[in-house]
Structure formats: structure tokens, C-alpha cells
Amino acid sequence: MLLHVNQLSIHFHARQGIVKAVEDVSFDLAEGETLGIVGESGCGKTVTALSLLRLISNPPGIIAGGEIFFQGRNLLKLSEKEMCDIRGNHMAMIFQEPMTALHPVLTVGRQVREPLIVHKKAVRKTAVQDCIRLLKRVRIPDADTRLHDYPHQFSGGMRQRVMVAMGLACNPKLIIADEPTTGLDVTLQAELLEFMKGLTQTEKTALVLITHDLGIVACYADQVMIMYAGRIVEKAPTLELYRAPQHPYTQGLLASIPRLDQDIQQKLRPIEGQPPDMANLPSGCAFHPRCPHAKPRCMRELPKLMQISTGHDVACWMHSR
């Protein structure tokens, strides 16, 4: 097992009180495996990913509890110097918005080769050649000249490829991709995802794929984790989850997207209501105000994640025994 997260909780101190952005999140990830994390904006997906690299700003954020084991080491007990060795070297993140993640006054080449110089102690000449190789690897044309350009001289899709090149620089064992297909057309999306999925097969690199796109998850993830209001509401192998979703929120997500096998006259069924205010969550199950199956117990008690079949966990009172 490459990554083991146990009962992770992340809180933020805000004017309106303590915001429990992530609460009691647990999951495992093996070498060469892809985990898809799905949920609406604000459900805690990105905060969970940032915590794996200990990039939660304190203040206002704090990792309030839990454990994060990576290659057998508890990351929450490491010093900042030890974490710096892990970030970009053994664990890399592809951020959602490359225009804000890339430094605007540094050339692309300098930013891509920085991990090689810092972690691999590469000399400048070798680092430049490796930089060209990485840019070619993500299919940036004229890589030997474009490495002297600045981020604003690239299109959105090309900037995203630069981010991928930076993430791959040191051949990390884990890549966290936060909405990696943002700003890309469908052709480039497929090309980029096939490339990253290929890494999991050839290099045994594990991949955490954060996305809103259930189609992407269906094609590329081995297991799926559905999050709502900072908690995991369902977790299962991909085929099992799509074949038989058990949580009403998962069912609602799948019912709200078009399918090739459905009648073209059939209307999509959106999930009614809005995501909850994280600073003022409803009592009991946070999804009960929007749930078509809500019972009085759902309004009073918070359901725990329970196993309903091998590898399939769900947090819903409909499945209580």
C-alpha cells in the first residue's frame, strides 16, 4: 500500500466559527492504482488533496485529526524539511488553474527544471536537456525553443501540459491531479488522461484524479470516492459504483448526466436544492434537505460509513441493519 489516510479531519477558523471542510475521511491507494474523487464544488476534494502534501495554510486551516501514511511514513509527524523532500520528488500535484500556479515572470523552462535541480541536484546543462525531454513528453511542439517562453505566451491547454511536465520531472510515486482537464478540448483531455493512465501501468505511479466529470472517472479510475459536505458518502470500485450506486447523492449525480443508452426524449433529473453552507451544516445527514428518501432519522443522526459488500462502503441510513 502506497498511501493510507485514516480519519483525516481539516478545519478552518472563520469569522462565523469553525468550518469543518473535511471530516473523518479514510482511504487507501496502492501502487499503480487510480482513485477518482468526485463531488460538487466545496465538498472538500481539493482540501483533502492539499492536506496530503501538507499545503493547508495555518492559520486559518489546521489538520485537526487523523493520519496520512505515505510509503510507511506518517506525513503529519515529519518536519518541514522532510516534507520539502517529498513534495515534487515522491509526491507531485497538478493544480487546477495553471495560470495562477505558474510564476508569471519566470520562463517555463526554469520552472520545469527547478524540481530537477532541487531534488536531483542536476547541473544546469543536464537539467535543460531533461526539461526539453519532459516538454516533448507532454507533446509541446518546438520544446527546445518554447522553454524560453513565459506562461502568458502559452494557451490554456499548453499551460496545463507544462504543469503535467513539472509534476513528472522527478518520476514521483504519486500524482495528484486536481481537475487536470480544465480548459482543454475533448481531444486533448483524452490524450492527457491516456498519458497519465499509461504512467500508472508502466511506472506503477499512483494517481488521485479530482474531477466533476463522471465520464472521466468511469474511463480512468479503478475506485471512486464520492464526497459531500466534507465527508465520504460512498466509496467503491468504479464498475460496482456505476452498476449499482447506493447513496441517493451518487444516484442523483448519475441521473443528472446524459447517457447514450437512454431515450432522447427522456429528461435529465437534476439534484434539487443547493449544497449546504459548510459553516452551518444541517443536523443529521447533511444531504437530507435534498434527499428524496429522507426519513426522520436522517434529520437527527449522522450516518457512519458502513460496508454493504466487498469494497463498497456507503453512509446512508437506508442501508442500516
Q: Is the dihedral of CA 139, 120, 93, 166 positive or negative?
A: negative
* pLDDT over 90 (residue 30): yes
Is position 306 within any domain? no
Span 46-72, pLDDT tens digits: 999 999 999 998 888 899 999 999 999
Is position 59 within any domain? yes
Range(s) of the domain holding residue 200? 3-90+172-241
Confidence grade of residue 321 (pLDDT, cut at 50, 70, 90): low
Among the ranges given (190-194, 216-220, 225-229), the one the predictor scored with the smallest mean pLDDT = 190-194
Among the ranges given (19-23, 87-91, 169-173, 193-197), the one the predictor scored with the smallest mean pLDDT = 193-197
pLDDT (0 to 100) of residue 38: 93
User: Which residue type sits at 182?
Assistant: T
308 in Cβ contact with 319 (< 8 Å): yes
* pLDDT over 80 (residue 152): yes
- The C-alpha atoms of residue 315 and residue 303 are separated, in whole angstroms, by 5
DSSP codes, 38-70: E--TTSSHHHHHHHHTT---TTTEEEEEEEEEE
Span 274-318, pLDDT tens digits: 888 888 889 999 999 999 888 999 999 999 999 998 889 999 998
Span 216-226, pLDDT tens digits: 888 889 999 99
* pLDDT over 80 (residue 265): no
* pLDDT over 80 (residue 264): no
pLDDT (0 to 100) of residue 183: 67
Residue 179 backbone zone (phi > 0: left; psi -120 to 50: alpha; other: beta): left
Is position 275 within any domain? no
If one counts the domains in the chain, the total is 1
- The C-alpha atoms of residue 35 and residue 241 are separated, in whole angstroms, by 13
Is position 103 within any domain? no
- The C-alpha atoms of residue 292 and residue 194 are separated, in whole angstroms, by 37
Is position 198 within any domain? yes
Is position 210 within any domain? yes
Which residues have CB under 8 Å from 239's CB, separation 6+?
Answer: none
The pLDDT > 70 percentage for the chain reads 99
* Residue from 39, 7, 10, 13 nearest 22 by CA: 10
The arithmetic mean of pLDDT across residues 114-127, rounded, is 86
Is position 138 within any domain? no
Write the CATH number for 189. 3.40.50.300
Reported pTM: 0.89
* pLDDT over 70 (residue 138): yes
